[in-house]
Amino acid sequence: MSDAAAPAAAGAPWRWLLWLWHELRIGLPIALIAAVFISTMFRDPFGRTLIYSLCIGLSIQFLIESGRHLGSAWRRRRDPAWAALGSQWPGWVLMGPWSAGSAVIGYFGGSLLADALTGLHHTRNPLGSDLRPLSLILMLSLGFTISAVYFFYSRGRLAALQAATEAAQRSAAEAQLRLLQSQLEPHMLFNTLANLRVLIGADPARAQTMLDRLIAFLRATLAASRSGTHTLADEFARIDDYLSLMAVRMGPRLAVRIELPDALRELPVPALLLQPLVENAIRHGLEPKVDGGRVEVSARRDGDTLVLAVRDTGVGLAADAAARDGHFGLRQVRERLATLHGARASLALTASPDGEGGALATVRLPLAAAP
Amino acid sequence: MTPRALIAEDEPLLLQGLRAELQAQWPELQIVAAVGDGDSALREALQQRPDVCLLDIRMPGASGLEVAQALAEDWPAGEPLPLLVFITAYDQYALQAFDAQAVDYLVKPLQPERLAACVQRLRARLAERARADEPQALQQLRALLAAAGAAVSERLEVIQAGVGNVVHMVPIDEVVYFEAADKYVRVVTREREHLIRMSLRELLPRLDPQRFWQVHRGLVVRARSIASAQRHESGKVTLTLRERPEHLTASRLYAHLFKGL
């Protein structure tokens, strides 16, 4: 993390010491190198040069760092989008001129401070005659300034990059968790278990079949949450598991039709892509309807596009469109499609075109570039 | 007298299981109706007048809570309300509301011990059941309905009522009352009325409860339009309106809104 954030994480008594260390470990070595360099060049006593060098170096650093923090604070307040990046670097436009100014002001300010400390009058008058050593020292201090500023700049950038990477990882983990949560809907899980509990007493053989379906579904769900792909045949088998569980629960209220042409069986698809759509067809289409209805899942090829369709003969979209569209399931399918194929894949939710009513969800995936 | 019960549960196996378990634990209980949807539950309950209703929350047609609301409103005056037990698989918010109101509920999968405790409680309450319990039962139900309807969506300012190719824009403040009519809602203003394709259930969260009062499961009235309210023996309240000649009826579930200061 950046130097501003690191001390904040530490305990209160160490905060300022840590901050000071973060600052000085840059300024001190630079001042030391400058002192060695100048005392060799001008054959000045090292001790005195070191005092000047420290005063000048730390003054410059103080000015630059103040400007950087003030600049960051100012930009954070003005630009919330920038603030969200967590950067400590207000940009070269602001920091370039400020650093140059800091170098000049810091040089004279630091020299005067060193004069006061040593009791000497070593500060060269900027309007005086002896300009060559002055300009050399100014150039030197400017050079050190630029390297120091660049150091801070790269460190800030690195910290911001790290923060961005961590945020991306976090959001990926969150998406994975949400996917898992949406697929392991507790209402579905507990109702299925309740049915199993009754079946174990009434019809153990059927209970066993149902349990096997549940196991296959749970296994696939956990695997899919780690964002894999599987074949279309697998996808349809898992959808069949889910619908079989629902058929036990809903009894005669649910009819199922699944159609997968043999030619498409081996095509790869994102795992459990269709599951939220099937769940929606039941939850929003058939569950509210007293007589229930039918769910159809089908796949076909349309040129170089794979078309997957989930339709129901339920209550239809008009009554409950808002609830369905805001549903996490639909958004999640759209996001997965967009991540994998961009604009070349799509999901459309429409009213079923025939007289039977209900809703139709259609997924279109590019065939050639299927993952 | 033999206690009589109604069970409403949309999953056939669960209905069968609950029925069997209930008969094992409470042999003298007579199950007069076992239905799979909310509308049948209401119809059967009003016809059979059971002492106990076990209602699944999530059912096709009306939900368990909506059935309870309708029962409280349409139950004949003078007869004690049935004892209500709600059943749910997983509904965090409903469970919190039930707990808060000390309402009986069962969680699926059904645990026999939990059902036994419930049966014991129901037996005790049936034995001592009297008219005096009713205000408490209504109060519990009001709180449950309030908790269930707590979700607030964006408020409507204008009602868009389509007739053929024309859409009438009705400012919300001109509406005197909304009345449920199957899948539609009648929107009644001073001069005229419109029909919108939306259920009252969908409309309710989009109305400001300060300005629009629900006075019946199928009726929402603008508070400022109510001129007077007259209470009846049955617990119902007759409302007269400022802008309209007709009288409206508030059910006993909402009669508490009309108290003189």
pLDDT-based confidence at residue B144 (cuts at 50, 70, 90): confident
- Same domain assignment for residues B141 and B165: no
Nearest CA in chain A to B20: A198
Say which amino acid occupies B123: R
Distance CA A335, CA A339 (A): 6
What are A38's two structure tokens?
């100048």
Distance CA A188, CA A214 (A): 11
Residue B239 has pLDDT above 90, yes or no: yes
Q: What is the per-residue pLDDT for A118?
A: 80
Q: What is the per-residue pLDDT for B130?
A: 56
Neighbours of B255 (CB within 10 A): 18
Distance of CA B197 to the CA centre of its chain: 21
What are A114's two structure tokens?
């060193």
Q: What is the per-residue pLDDT for B103?
A: 76
Any idea which of A250-264, B149-163, B165-179, B185-199 has the lowest mean pLDDT?
B149-163
* Mean pLDDT along residues A120-138: 61
pLDDT-based confidence at residue B187 (cuts at 50, 70, 90): very high
- Same domain assignment for residues B173 and B143: no
Q: What is the per-residue pLDDT for B53?
A: 95
Any idea which of A73-77, A82-86, A108-112, B158-162 has the lowest mean pLDDT?
A82-86
* Mean pLDDT along residues A226-231: 78
Q: Closest by alpha carbon to A138, among A156, A148, A124, A152?
A: A124
- Under an 8 A CB cutoff, do B197 and A290 touch? no
Structural contact between residues B212 and B149, judged by C-beta atoms closer than 8 angstroms: no
Residue A182 has pLDDT above 80, yes or no: no
- Under an 8 A CB cutoff, do B108 and A253 touch? no
* Helices A328-341, A131-183: inter-axial angle, 10-degree rounding: 130
Any idea which of A21-30, A83-92, A149-158 has the lowest mean pLDDT?
A83-92
More confident call, A124 vs A250 = A250
- Under an 8 A CB cutoff, do B110 and A186 touch? no
More confident call, A254 vs A19 = A254
- Under an 8 A CB cutoff, do B39 and A288 touch? no
Structural contact between residues A333 and A277, judged by C-beta atoms closer than 8 angstroms: yes
Which of residues B83, B114, B148 is at a domain's end? B148
* Mean pLDDT along residues A148-167: 79
Residue A258 has pLDDT above 70, yes or no: yes
B91 and chain A in contact, CB less than 8 A: yes
**What are the C-alpha distances in Å from A5 to residues A11, A69, A87, A171?**
12, 12, 10, 22
Nearest to A187 among B16, B36, B89 (CB): B89
Considering chain B, what percentage of its residues have pLDDT values greater than 90? Answer: 58
Structural contact between residues A307 and A301, judged by C-beta atoms closer than 8 angstroms: yes
The helix/strand/coil state of A307 is strand
* Residue linked to tokens 């958004």: A331
- Same domain assignment for residues B77 and B162: no
Which of residues B116, B148, B180 is at a domain's end? B148
- Same domain assignment for residues B31 and B135: yes
* Mean pLDDT along residues A187-212: 94
Q: Closest by alpha carbon to A141, among A40, A51, A35?
A: A35
- Same domain assignment for residues B228 and B192: yes
Residue B121 has pLDDT above 80, yes or no: yes
pLDDT digits (tens, 9 = 90+) for B83-96: 999 999 887 767 77
- Same domain assignment for residues B54 and B135: yes
Residue B216 maps to a domain: yes
**ipTM, interface predicted TM-score of the complex:** 0.83
CATH numbers and ranges of domains, chain A: 5-171 (no CATH), 186-366 (3.30.565.10)
A249 and chain B in contact, CB less than 8 A: yes
- Same domain assignment for residues B216 and B140: no
pLDDT-based confidence at residue A134 (cuts at 50, 70, 90): low
pLDDT-based confidence at residue A11 (cuts at 50, 70, 90): low
* CATH (domain of B90): 3.40.50.2300
With beta carbons under 8 A apart, name residues in chain A contacting B109.
190, 193-194, 196-197
Distance of CA B118 to the CA centre of its chain: 22
pLDDT-based confidence at residue A34 (cuts at 50, 70, 90): confident
* CATH (domain of B212): 2.40.50.1020
B17 and chain A in contact, CB less than 8 A: yes
Nearest to A198 among B14, B60, B107 (CB): B14
pLDDT-based confidence at residue A370 (cuts at 50, 70, 90): very low
Nearest CA in chain B to A292: B60
What's the domain range around B167? 158-257
Distance CA A225, CA A213 (A): 18
pLDDT-based confidence at residue B235 (cuts at 50, 70, 90): confident
Residue A317 has pLDDT above 90, yes or no: no
B90 and chain A in contact, CB less than 8 A: yes
Neighbours of A10 (CB within 10 A): 13
Considering chain B, what percentage of its residues have pLDDT values greater than 70? Answer: 98
Q: How many domains does chain B have?
A: 2
Please give the mean pLDDT across all residues of chain A.
Answer: 81
Residue B14 has pLDDT above 50, yes or no: yes
- Same domain assignment for residues B68 and B177: no
Residue B35 maps to a domain: yes
With beta carbons under 8 A apart, name residues in chain B contacting A198.
13-14, 16-17
B183 and chain A in contact, CB less than 8 A: yes
Residue A3 has pLDDT above 50, yes or no: no
Any idea which of A216-230, A247-261, A298-312, A353-367 has the lowest mean pLDDT?
A216-230
Structural contact between residues B148 and B58, judged by C-beta atoms closer than 8 angstroms: no
Residue B178 has pLDDT above 90, yes or no: yes
Distance CA A129, CA A111 (A): 18
Q: Whole-model pTM? A: 0.69
Q: What is the per-residue pLDDT for A133?
A: 62
Structural contact between residues B187 and B194, judged by C-beta atoms closer than 8 angstroms: yes
Residue B70 maps to a domain: yes
Nearest to B89 among A190, A202, A318 (CB): A190
DSSP state string for A55-119: HHHHHHHHHHHHHHHHHHHHHHHH-HHHHHHT-----HHHHHHHHHHHHHHHHHHHHHHHHHHHS
B23 and chain A in contact, CB less than 8 A: no
Q: What is the per-residue pLDDT for A86?
A: 67
With beta carbons under 8 A apart, name residues in chain B contacting A252.
12
DSSP state string for chain B: ---EEEEE-SSHHHHHHHHHHHHHH-TT-EEEEEESSHHHHHHHHHHH--SEEEEESS-SSS-HHHHHHHHHHHSPTTSPPPEEEEEESS-HHHHHHHHHHT--EEESSPPHHHHHHHHHHHHHHHHT--GGGHHHHHHHHHHHHHHHT----PPPSEEEEEETTEEEEEEGGGEEEEEEETTEEEEEESS-EEEESS-HHHHGGGS-TTTEEEEETTEEEEGGGEEEEEE-TTS-EEEEESS-SSEEEE-TTTGGG----
* Residue linked to tokens 């002055």: A134
* Mean pLDDT along residues B156-167: 88
Mutate to test the interface with B, among A248, A254, A290 (most CBs of B within 10 A): A290
- Same domain assignment for residues B251 and B167: yes
* Mean pLDDT along residues B188-213: 90
pLDDT-based confidence at residue A274 (cuts at 50, 70, 90): very high
Mutate to test the interface with B, among A182, A185, A191, A283 (most CBs of B within 10 A): A191
Residue B208 maps to a domain: yes
**Largest pairwise CA distance in chain B:** 61
- Same domain assignment for residues B82 and B110: yes
- Same domain assignment for residues B48 and B109: yes
pLDDT-based confidence at residue B251 (cuts at 50, 70, 90): very high
Residue B153 maps to a domain: no
* Mean pLDDT along residues B198-204: 87
Residue B125 maps to a domain: yes
* Residue linked to tokens 């569980």: A245
Under the phi-then-psi rule, with left for phi > 0, alpha for psi from -120 to 50, and beta for the rest, what region is B92?
alpha
Paired with B166 in beta bridges are: B163
* Mean pLDDT along residues A296-310: 95
Residue B232 maps to a domain: yes
Residue A320 has pLDDT above 90, yes or no: no
- Same domain assignment for residues B213 and B105: no
Q: Closest by alpha carbon to A322, among B187, B218, B201, B169?
A: B201
A195 and chain B in contact, CB less than 8 A: yes
pLDDT-based confidence at residue B81 (cuts at 50, 70, 90): confident
In the DSSP assignment, the letter for residue A161 is: H
Q: What is the per-residue pLDDT for A123?
A: 61
Which of residues B78, B113, B148 is at a domain's end? B148
